[in-house]
Amino acid sequence: MDRQLLLEATGTLLAFLVLYCLWKSKASTGISAPEPKGAWPIIGHLHLLGEKTPVFRTLAAMADKHGPIFTIQIGMRRALVVSGKETIMECFTTNDRAFVSRPKSAAVKYMGYDGAMSVFGPHGPYWRELRKVMILKLLANSRLELMKHLRASEVGLCINDLYSLCVKQLNGVSEGLDNCHKPGATKVDMTHWFRLVPMNLMLRAIAGKDIIMLQDLRRRRYGLSEDEKDGEARLFSRALDQFSFLTGAFECSDVIPFIEWMDLQGHVRLMKQNAKVMDCFMSRWPEEHVQSRKNGQAKEEHDFMDVLLSIFPEDGMEHGHTNKNIIKGTALSLILGGSDTTTATMTWALSLLLNHKKSLKLVQQELDMHVGRERWVEESDIKDLIYLQAVVKETLRLYPPGPPRINRRLSRGRPERFLHRDVKAGERGREFEFEYLPFSSGRRSCPGARAAYLMIHLTLARLLQGFDVATPTNEAVDMSEGLGLVLPKATLLEVVVSPRLKRELYLQ
C-alpha cells in the first residue's frame, strides 16, 4: 500500500513537472532574445549578480558577449536587458507604455507607505495624478523661480561654513596634509558637505524646517559636543542613508515571494525599523502645519507641505491610500530624489575634476573671466559658463545618478540601460555623439531634473569660484562605484580646500 502511494505521488509530481515545462515552453515561444548560460533552478542568474559588484557592470559584460538585448532569469521572474541605442530609443518612444510600470517590492511595501510613495509605484490613475501634482504644483518652473533665493541662501551658508573651517587653520597646516598646500587649507569630507547643501534646501522647501546640519560638519572636525537639534538632524540623515541603501539593495523575496517570512538577509527587519524612524519625521511636519493653520499662524510663503495639504485634505482617501500617507510619501520622494541624486552627481563631478587638473583649471578660469573675483556667481551667470555645463553633462554620462538595477518583476518589460559608456553608441566616424539619459526619459522621466540641474551648477560654481581644491597628498581620487539606490562613490571624497577670494565676500 505504501509503495502504491509512493508511486502515485511520484507520478503526480512527474506529471506536474512535465505540464510546467510544457507551459513554460509555450509561454516563452515569443521570446527570441538570447539568455546567458548558468541559470540555476529557482534562483536563476541571481548567483551571477553579486552584491559586491554593481549590477550594471555585470550586465554590461553580459551585453558584450550576448548582444544589445537578452534575457536573464531573476528568481521566478524573467527580465529583459536592453543596452543598444536604437532599442532603447524604441523603449522610451514607440513602446514607452509597455515599460512605464514598476514592480511591487518589500521596500515599497514597508518603507514606501505600501505604494503611496508614487515614485516607486505602478503605472495607473494614482501614479498619473501624483505625477501631475509634482509637475504642475511642486516642481513647475514658476515655483522653482520662487525658490531661487532658497538655493542661493543654502549654498551661501555652506560656503561660509567651509571658510570658517579654513580660518581656524590659518596658524598651521592640518595634520596629514602635504606641505605644498596653502596656510589655512583644511581637509573636508566633501561627500558629507555635498549632502548638506541639497538636504537643507529640500527640508526648507518641503516643510519650512531650518534643520541645519552644518554643525555636524564642524563637530566632526573639531570634536564638539552635539545638542538636541543636531542629534535630531543626524538621526534623520542616518535614517535617510539607510532608506536609500535598503531601497537599492537586492531583496530575495522580491523575486522569490514565498521566502519573505524567512528574511534571509535581514533586510525586511531593517526596513520595518527604518519606516518607524522616517515616519516620526514625516508625520510631525504636516501635523505642525495643520496646527499652525488652526492657530492662525499660517505663513505668507507656502512651502510644499502647504501645497500638499491644500490638495489632499488631512482626513481623506485617494485610490486606496489615506491622504496622510500620500502627503508623507510624496514629501519623502522629494527629499530622496532631491538630495541623493544631486549629492552623487556633485561628488562624481568634483572627483573627475581632481583627477583632471587641466579641466579644473579651465573651469576656474571660465569663472574668473565671466564672473570675476569681486562678487559671487549667481544662477543668471550659469548660461555663460559653457565649460562648467560640459563638465556636468560628462559627469552624468559617465556616472548617471540612477544606474541600472535588478528589476524584480517583468510584466510587459522594462529597459535596463548602460548606454552611457557604450562606445559603439557614441561613435559616428571620428566624432563622439554624446547622447545619454541621466534622468531617464518618456513617461517615467524625472520631474525634478531641472531643479537638480539648477542646484548642481550653482553649488559647483560657488565652490570652485571660492576655493582651490586638491587631494590631501595630491594622489588620484579612487573612482570605485558603491551600491545603493543611486550610484555613490565607494569611498569618501576627502578634499583640501583653501580660499581664493577676498575675505569680505565670505562674510556677507
Which of the following CATH numbers is that of domain 31-506: 1.10.3720.10, 2.60.40.420, 2.70.50.60, 1.10.630.10? 1.10.630.10
Q: 473 or 352: whose pLDDT is higher?
A: 352
Summarize pLDDT for 314-371 with one digit per residue, the tens. 778 888 899 999 999 999 999 888 888 899 999 999 999 999 999 999 999 999 999 9
Task: Please tell me which of 80-94, 288-302, 380-394, 471-485 the model is most confident about, judged by mean pLDDT.
Answer: 380-394
pLDDT bucket at 184, cuts 50 / 70 / 90: low
Per-residue model confidence as pLDDT tens digits over 137-163: 888 899 999 899 999 999 998 999 899
pLDDT at residue 31 is higher than 70: no
% the chain with pLDDT above 90: 29
Residue 10 — pLDDT band, cuts 50, 70, 90? low
Which H or E run includes 316? Answer: none
Q: Is the pLDDT of residue 469 over 90?
A: yes
pLDDT score at 291: 85
Q: Calculate mean pLDDT across residues 98-108.
A: 81
Mean pLDDT, the chain, rounded, equals: 79
With 60 as the cut, is the pLDDT of residue 12 above it?
Answer: no
CA distance 324 to 309: 9
The answer to whether residues 184 and 133 touch, using CB atoms and an 8 Å cutoff, is no
CA distance readout (Å), 246 to 229, 243, 338: 26, 5, 18
SS3 assignment, position 69 = strand
Q: Over the stretch 362-414, which tens digit does the pLDDT of each residue have? A: 999 999 999 999 999 999 999 999 999 999 999 988 888 865 554 444 444 44
pLDDT grade, residue 9 (50/70/90)?
low
Find out whether 349 and 477 touch, Cβ atoms under 8 Å.
no
Choice between 219 and 476, residue whose per-residue pLDDT is larger: 476
Residue 26, all three cell numbers: 509555450
- What whole-number distance in Å separates Cα of residue 166 and Cα of residue 422? 42
Binding-site residues from annotation for heme? 446
* pLDDT score, position 419: 47
How much is the pLDDT for 220? 47
- Residues pairing with 189 in the sheet: 494
What would the mean pLDDT of 20-45 be, rounded to a whole number?
68
Measured between alpha carbons, how far is 247 from 471 in angstroms, rounded to an integer?
Answer: 32
**Do the bridges between strand 431-432 and strand 69-74 make them parallel or antiparallel, or are there none, so unpaired?**
unpaired
pLDDT at residue 222, rounded to an integer: 39
Q: Which residue has the higher pLDDT, 366 or 124?
A: 366
Segment 16-21 mean pLDDT = 50
Quote the cell numbers at residue 158.
555652506
Q: Is 75's pLDDT higher than 70? A: yes
pLDDT of residue 278: 92
Predicted local confidence at residue 171, as pLDDT: 54
Residue pLDDT, tens place only, 476-486: 999 998 877 78
pLDDT (0 to 100) of residue 426: 46
pLDDT at 373 (0 to 100): 94
* Statement: residue 471 has pLDDT above 90: yes
Binding site, by residue number, is: 446
Q: Which of 50-59, 63-72, 443-452 has the lowest mean pLDDT?
A: 50-59
Does 247 score more than 90 pLDDT?
Answer: no
Alpha-carbon distance 194 to 339, whole Å? 9
Tens digit of each residue's pLDDT (9 = 90 or more) over 260-273: 888 888 999 999 99
**Model confidence at 434: pLDDT above 70:** no
- The pLDDT, as a whole number, for residue 210 is 60
**pTM, 2 dp:** 0.81
